[in-house]
Amino acid sequence: MSAATHRCVWYTFTIPMLFLRRAYKILFLILIQILFSILALAIHSVVFTGRERRMRLLTWGMTLWAKSVSSVLGLKIRTTGRRPEKAGVFIVANHSSYTDITVIGSILPAVFVSKAEVRSWPLFGALAKAGGTIFVNRETPRSTLAAIGEAGEELRAGANVVVFAEGTTDNGNQVDAFMSSFFRIPAEASAPVLPVSLYYSAVDGRPASDMPSNETAWYHMPLFTHFWNLLSKKRVDVLVLFNEIIEPDRAPHDRKALAALAEERVREGFAKLKGMPRK
């Protein structure tokens, strides 16, 4: 078979398959978003439910949503390390993609602190708001302080709170420096800190180490471009490591020192994940 014929056959079969794969994923994602938006609205409308119980119901609903979305997107998540036995934990993780939210959310019920522009994203923004996501504009000190206060209230009320302390997504192959602002939350609430390392190890069977840059990372590109490419993938392998929890009685009281310790553990865990053999 000539090279030209081979290319013709490839285009004939591959392009329609990619279109169908993207189409059914988009359809299921829309259905999931509609279903869980209705569920969130129903939870908010139950007037006799107290604030803490309502938040538990919302985080439970968000966990189901995250599991569903992860399944549709082909995210195959493998966890190592010890998960927290109780809620009320401040969770901090490295951040390479918006899919980090569905990865962590599918494993642990939690309230997320997210950048303000997420609120305007189609479908997802409305659901994130309904699910109790705390939005922050990191460039505005007042917004940051308000988000810190709100997240602290949720943590003291017994909810897990997730913060991506790098402040933005990285390239998927490294961990960037942590910002210390939000570490005021566990320091003031005397809450345990759980450093979590995330690594997207393979895409459709191809190891991330064989790629010039991690294909899953949403990094210096339009959101739609990244999402459209993600929809074409059959399987994305994600490794999650729960590092050793930093207990309040052993944690530095200074937020910068606490941030540095959490960053160190996330970096060490990330290196371990990159070196793990594939299964």
Given its phi and psi angles, is residue 143 left (phi above 0), alpha (psi -120 to 50 degrees) or beta? alpha
Closest by CA to 70, choosing from 269, 245, 236, is: 236
Output the pLDDT for position 209: 79
Give the CATH number, domain containing residue 255.
3.40.1130
Closest by CA to 224, choosing from 76, 94, 70, 98, is: 98
Q: Supply the range of the domain harboring residue 37.
A: 3-275
The model's pTM is 0.89
Output the pLDDT for position 119: 81
Q: Rounded distance, CA 30 to CA 12, Å?
A: 28
CB count in 10 Å sphere of residue 67 = 16
Please state the separation of Cα 219 from the chain's center in Å. 15
How large is the average pLDDT for residues 240-244? 97
Sequence-ordered list of residues with C-beta below 8 angstroms from that of 161, at least 6 positions apart, any chain: 89, 90, 91, 110, 111, 112, 113, 134, 151, 154, 155, 185
Please state the separation of Cα 138 from the chain's center in Å. 18
Beta bridge partners of 206: 203
Output the pLDDT for position 160: 93
3-class state of residue 201 by DSSP:
strand
Which token pair is 1?
A: 């078979």
Number of domains into which the chain is organized:
1
Output the pLDDT for position 199: 96
Does residue 63 have a pLDDT over 70?
Answer: yes
Q: Give tens-digit pLDDT for 70-101.
A: 999 999 999 999 999 888 999 999 999 999 99
